[in-house]
Structures are given as structure tokens and as C-alpha cells.
């Protein structure tokens, strides 16, 4: 059994036994009193759909029983992380109804980029809430908490900001949005700017008091059903697991840039904890060996249209209906999402997210090692 597979199995077992942890009993097994998250659809808990309300079923079917603003059938990795830390599920900063920011906030939105977009969400599908905008939202939240002097019951107490955990999971849309038209080698030229934006954001957050950071690297997009269907490639470019090697090598290049950049930031910010989270290795292992982790389908989407090896059609996205050859067809969900790595061809199922989160919580895929939750 490979090392990655063994570590994943041990981490998943630890999360399954979380009922005995302080977090499961309503307390906290974490040293962090709050969680502030920045990112894209991989960690968006409802921000995009608060700004542009239109999400429909079958999203949310597994855990919430209805659409819950997440690009999955249920919880995301950030949800499992928050729960393991004894924190409530993060309220999206953009959600005006029912939000509670006392223990943190989520600034992530679906389709967000690290770099400022130069197009509209209605033209290219890129969110206007880039990382710089999310950072400004964080500053606004902090300023409001300061001006209220801790007397607003929905805002974080003033002493929380310096002790909270700040997570950043963004960059995938910067990488993928132009892959089809420009090719991986051209896109790679812009990746240093993406990494620099993330590093500058950490330093900016540090300047307003943040000290604890976890930065997620990029998952192997060459294994996702949507990209396997949409991106040009030859059969010779597929590895033995059915993933595209050219695009995945571009991801590895990005991850190396990110890791090296964070190492430089650590040298500047000596009293900060800056952890690099290897989500890539965890997700790649799930795509390659789903059966070793209680799953069945790797590169096939649960919710989609068209069947076949990938069950993905870019013209009939999960939950949508469209007329094809004179007939109305709908991209529906499978009856067993717990057996899939990919939910809709682009995002992970709750089952996969739980495994990814368990790896993060264990600290086995973090550098420097950082265990979020102890029994």
C-alpha cells in the first residue's frame, strides 16, 4: 500500500471517530477560536448564490436536503474543518439574512480568481469577487467590529482576529479559465502573478493582525470529468488512471511556485504560522484509487448528462434542462453520490470532501506539519 493511501486511510478513520472529540461534544479541540476563509467554489458556502440567487437542486441533496450555496451534494472540506474545530458552519460574508460572524466568516465565491478579472461574470463566468476584493471585505468586517467596540452580537469579538485561522483556497480558476484557448504553456506564464497575489494577501492580512494561515495548493484538474471532456488532448496524454498528464504537470508547476513563494513569506514574517496544504496529493490519490477509500467512481461525474465514461456535457450542466435534438433533457444526479469523487464534473462530492478534510485535519499533508484538531 502506498504511503499516500495509508495516510489517507488513517486520517479518514480519525475523522470517523470524531464523535469522541471535544468538537463533537460542542466544545473546541482547536487552538483557533475563529476561521476566516478566502477562495473559490471549492470553499464557497453560499457567497456567490447570495449575490446571484439562482442555485437549484440537486445541489445540497445529501446533507442539507436542498441547495445550500455549495458546489456539491453536501458539505465542503471547509465545512468539515470548521466542524472538527468546534466551530459553526461559516456564514458567507455576502449573505445578508441569517449570518453570524462571531466565530468567523467566508469570503469565498464560486468562480473567483486570485487576480482581478478583466471581464464580466455574465460574459466569461468569472466572479467579480477576486482575492483582492475578498481581502477588502475582510478589512471592512474588522473595521466594523472595531467601531462597534465588541458590542454588536453578530460581529467577531475584537480579540479574535489575532488568534483566528485564515485559510486561502484559490487559484484554480486563474489556471483553468484560459486553458482551452491559450494552452497550458501560455497559461503557465501568468501563474507567478497568481502566486504573488496570494503571498501579498498573506502579508496584508499579517499587517492587520493575522498570524495563522493555511494555504491550499491546486488539485489535479487533469483528472476532472469536465476538463477531460472540454480540454483538447490526445489519448497519448492520458496516464494509466485516465488523467491528462500535460495539464496535471502544469498544476504541479503551479504548486511548486506556491510552495516556494510561501517559504519566502515565512522568512519575512517570523512570528506567523504559514502552512502549505497539499490538497493535490490527497485528491490525486482519490482519483487514482477511489476503491481504496470506499468510493467507486473516479473520473465520472455523479450529476450530469450523457452517461459514458465521464457523464458530463458542458451544454447541460448539473440540475439544468435543455433541448437536445428536439427533446428536453435534464442533467440529473446519481442515486449514490457517496460512491463518487466528482459531484458535477468540476467539484467534489461530500464523500470526497470528507476524506480531503480528514487529511488536512490530521496534518499529514501540511508543511510545516500542522494538526488542527486533537482528540
Contact 78, 37 (CB under 8 A): yes
104-106 and 35-39 beta bridge pairing: parallel
d(CA 349, CA 42): 11
d(CA 17, CA 5): 19
Q: Which residues 6+ apart lie within 8 Å of 146 measured at CB?
A: 158
10 Å CB burial of residue 331 (0-12, 13-18, 19+) is buried
Backbone angles phi, psi at 110, to 5 degrees: -55, 140
d(CA 283, CA 181): 26
Catalytic residue, candidates 344, 364, 366, 370: 344
Contact 74, 350 (CB under 8 A): yes
Active site residue 73: no
DSSP result, 174-241 = HHHTTHHHH-HHHHHTTHHHHHHHHHHHHHHHHHTT--EEEEE----GGGSHHHHHHS---GGGB-TT
Catalytic residue, candidates 21, 30, 41, 342: 41
Catalytic residue, candidates 174, 347, 364, 366: 347
Active site residue 347: yes
Using DSSP's 3-state secondary structure scheme, residue 27 falls into coil
Nearest Cα to Cα of residue 160 among 211, 92, 207, 94: 211
d(CA 100, CA 143): 16
Which helix or strand (DSSP H or E) is residue 9 part of? helix 3-16
Catalytic residue list: 41, 344, 347
Amino acid at each position: 500500500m502506498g504511503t499516500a493511501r495509508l495516510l489517507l486511510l488513517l486520517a479518514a478513520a480519525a475523522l470517523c471517530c470524531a464523535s469522541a472529540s471535544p468538537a463533537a461534544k460542542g466544545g473546541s479541540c482547536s487552538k483557533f477560536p475563529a476561521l476566516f476563509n478566502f477562495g473559490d467554489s471549492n470553499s464557497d458556502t453560499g457567497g456567490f448564490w447570495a449575490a446571484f440567487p439562482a442555485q437549484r437542486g440537486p445541489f445540497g441533496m445529501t446533507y442539507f436536503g436542498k441547495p445550500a450555496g455549495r458546489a456539491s451534494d453536501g458539505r465542503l472540506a471547509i465545512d468539515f474543518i470548521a466542524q472538527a474545530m468546534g466551530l459553526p458552519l461559516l456564514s458567507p460574508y455576502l449573505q445578508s439574512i441569517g449570518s453570524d460572524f462571531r466565530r468567523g466568516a467566508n469570503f469565498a465565491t464560486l468562480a473567483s480568481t486570485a487576480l482581478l478579472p478583466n471581464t464580466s461574470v455574465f460574459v466569461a463566468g468569472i466572479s467579480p469577487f477576486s482575492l483582492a476584493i475578498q481581502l477588502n471585505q475582510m478589512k471592512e468586517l474588522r473595521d466594523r467590529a472595531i467601531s462597534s467596540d465588541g458590542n454588536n452580537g453578530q460581529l467577531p469579538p475584537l480579540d479574535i482576529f489575532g488568534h483566528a485561522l485564515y485559510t486561502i483556497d484559490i487559484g484554480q480558476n486563474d489556471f483553468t479559465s484560459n486553458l482551452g484557448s491559450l494552452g497550458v504553456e501560455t497559461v503557465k506564464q501568468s501563474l507567478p502573478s497568481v502566486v504573488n497575489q496570494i503571498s501579498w494577501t498573506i502579508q496584508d492580512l499579517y499587517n492587520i493582525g493575522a498570524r495563522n494561515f493555511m494555504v491550499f495548493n491546486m488539485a489535479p484538474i487533469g483528472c476532472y470529468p469536465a476538463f477531460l471532456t472540454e480540454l483538447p488532448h490526445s489519448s497519448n496524454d492520458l496516464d494509466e488512471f485516465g488523467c491528462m498528464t500535460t495539464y496535471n504537470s502544469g498544476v504541479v508547476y503551479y504548486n511548486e511556485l506556491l510552495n516556494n513563494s510561501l517559504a519566502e513569506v515565512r522568512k519575512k514574517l517570523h512570528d506567523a504560522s504559514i502552512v502549505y496544504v497539499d490538497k493535490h496529493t490527497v485528491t490525486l490519490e482519490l482519483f487514482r484509487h477511489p476503491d481504496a477509500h470506499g468510493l467507486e467512481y473516479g473520473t465520472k461525474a455523479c450529476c450530469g448528462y450523457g452517461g459514458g465514461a465521464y457523464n458530463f456535457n458542458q451544454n447541460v450542466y448539473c440540475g439544468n434542462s435543455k433541448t437536445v435534438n428536439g427533446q428536453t433533457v435534464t442533467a440529473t444526479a446519481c442515486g449514490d453520490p457517496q460512491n463518487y469523487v466528482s459531484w458535477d464534473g468540476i467539484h467534489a462530492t461530500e464523500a470526497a470532501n470528507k476524506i480531503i478534510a480528514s487529511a488536512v485535519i490530521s496534518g499529514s499533508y501540511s508543511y510545516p506539519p500542522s494538526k488542527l484538531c486533537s482528540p
